Structure 1
Amino acid sequence: MSIHILLVSNDAALVPLIETELRYEGYQFTVKKDGASGLIAIRELQPDLVILDFSLPMLSGLEICRRLRSTQQEIPIILLDHIQGSHCAIALDSGADDYVTRPISVEELVARVRLHLRRWHRDNPEALVFRDLKLDLQTREVYRGNRLIELTPKEFELLVYLISHPRQVLSRDLLIENVWGYDFIGESNVLHVYIRYLRVKLEANRESRLIHTIRGVGYVLRETFTKQPALVR
């Protein structure tokens, strides 16, 4: 149930850098080196987002955009180009959701990936996703990568609120009010206890921490940062 991203590019220098960053973010990742095999992969794999080179053997990234939009496929598409801005208007008019030119900051590209995935899942709210964490609001299933996690109803409600406000510091009072109710009169440490329950379950396979404590304030759902930015020219 992890997020699946398809990269269609024959750039031998760029592909491994993008792959490293996206796998570090917890995404499932597939690479195709020409437009024809890329279009087939889109139809067969149904990825959550596609990154396309503008110029590709056999079928251009622009033509792939046009074909996908002509069949009403609304998958998010990021188009990469080697020429600064020259094809931006035609790329967006052909159905690309974003247009990125060299020099490419891989960290910026990954940030754009996260942005478009958030927008997609906001407009399709049957699922909430943050990095490799996915909550299905219809089945109430929770996945960390491909691992199914069993949560109690209250744990699920708390995680829904956290994942609905990614990278936002949420006060203890705000979490108590929105998850337990404004008139809650239970144990004062109930939030701390449930945060601990969630951490144990979300990190059972030694995954990176997602729920962080902000001393004296509350909690935030965000990445664990350990890497320096990379720039591809």
Structure 2
Amino acid sequence: MDIKGNEEINILVVDDEESIVEFIKMGLEAEGYRVYTAYDGEEAITVAMELRPHLIILDIMLPGRNGYEICRELKENIETSVIMLTAKGDIDDRVKGLNLGADDYMIKPFSFKELLARINARLRNNYICKSTKLNIGKFAIDDGAHEIYFENKILQLSPTEYNLLKYLIVNNGLVLSKNIILEKVWGCDFEGDENIVEVYVRYLRDKLCDKEHEIIKTVRGVGYKLVIN
């Protein structure tokens, strides 16, 4: 799905490690994106407020002001997506970033292929917010009407089923853990059993007639991945 030409998308990369910035910048420019850079917190704020990028790749550990502070300030002042980079794998750090408005996170080290997939997912999600309608493969999402179609037939979904399926569609091709699904669909303050994700995945498979799990795949020991052919 082509939202708009990549050359029309501005991405800001913020990290104090020059090698990481250059690695990301080189890869994104090869994909046609316009890439801007910043190496500390104050510079990130200045560039972001002037540029108003479509997406920001933001490291947590920065000189001056950390990524949490930057994320909160930018989310209060401009419309953008934020993918946070962290060397920390603790769930509390991820939850803190998400609570401050981050849209996604990646733990270093990471592959550029996965970063690119997550960037594309965030851009697709923004497109839904602005147009309320999106077609991806055999799926059609009408966010304004809160409806999802599969093979041109409307699916009868509960609110939670709708939110879960939309999240899987927008992130198609990415393996999503139960924890991140819980955080994004049920909310960071959800205190129930994480097996609720399995229950709702089963509901969706039934409604998609996905008996062989060819649409919503289980990645053992990791989570789920929606595959759109």
* TM interval, short-chain normalised: 0.5 to 0.7
Shift of 1:12: 2.3
Alignment of 1:74-93 (within 5 A): 74-86=79-91, 87-93=93-99
Q: 1:4 aligns with which of 7, 10, 16?
A: 10
SS of the aligned residue for 1:119 comes to: helix
User: Do the aligned residues in 2 keep the contact of 1:21 with 1:107 (CA within 8 Å)?
Assistant: no
> Would the alpha carbon gap of residues 7 and 69 (structure 1) be closer, same or farther in structure 2, given more than 3 Å must change?
same
Shift of 1:125: 2.3
Matched, 1:53 2:59: yes
1-structure distance, mates of 2:72, 2:135: 34
Q: Deviations over 1:135-180 (max 9, x none)?
A: xxxxxxxxxxxxxxxxxxxxxxxxxxxxx646x49xxxxxxxxxxx
SS of the aligned residue for 2:118 comes to: helix
SS of the aligned residue for 1:44 comes to: helix
Which is greater in Rg?
A: 1
User: Do the aligned residues in 2 keep the contact of 1:80 with 1:99 (CA within 8 Å)?
Assistant: yes
Provide the residue aligned with 2:46 in structure 1. 40
Q: In structure 2, what residue type is equivalent to 1:78?
A: I
Shift of 1:70: 3.1
2-structure distance, mates of 1:58, 1:113: 26
Aligned-residue RMSD, C-alpha = 2.4
SS of the aligned residue for 1:124 comes to: helix
Q: 2:71 aligns with which of 65, 71, 74?
A: 65
| Higher helix content, 1 or 2 | 2
Alignment of 1:118-157 (within 5 A): 118-125=124-131
Provide the residue aligned with 2:179 in structure 1. none
Provide the residue aligned with 2:110 in structure 1. 104
1-structure distance, mates of 2:116, 2:63: 25
2-structure distance, mates of 1:37, 1:57: 10
Matched, 1:14 2:20: yes
Q: Deviations over 1:90-121 (max 9, x none)?
A: 11111111111122111101110010011102
Structure 2 residues not aligned, in runs of 5+: 1-6, 139-229
Shift of 1:2: 1.2
User: Do the aligned residues in 2 keep the contact of 1:85 with 1:101 (CA within 8 Å)?
Assistant: no
Q: Deviations over 1:163-208 (max 9, x none)?
A: x646x49xxxxxxxxxxxxxxxxxxxxxxxxxxxxxxxxxxxxxxx
TM (norm. structure 1) is 0.52
Shift of 1:74: 3.2
1-structure distance, mates of 2:135, 2:99: 32
1-structure distance, mates of 2:90, 2:19: 21
2-structure distance, mates of 1:97, 1:85: 17
TM (norm. structure 2) is 0.53
Q: In structure 2, what residue type is equivalent to 1:59?
A: R
Q: 2:100 aligns with which of 74, 94, 105?
A: 94
Provide the residue aligned with 2:189 in structure 1. none
Q: Deviations over 1:200-232 (max 9, x none)?
A: xxxxxxxxxxxxxxxxxxxxxxxxxxxxxxxxx
Alignment of 1:164-183 (within 5 A): 165=135, 168=137
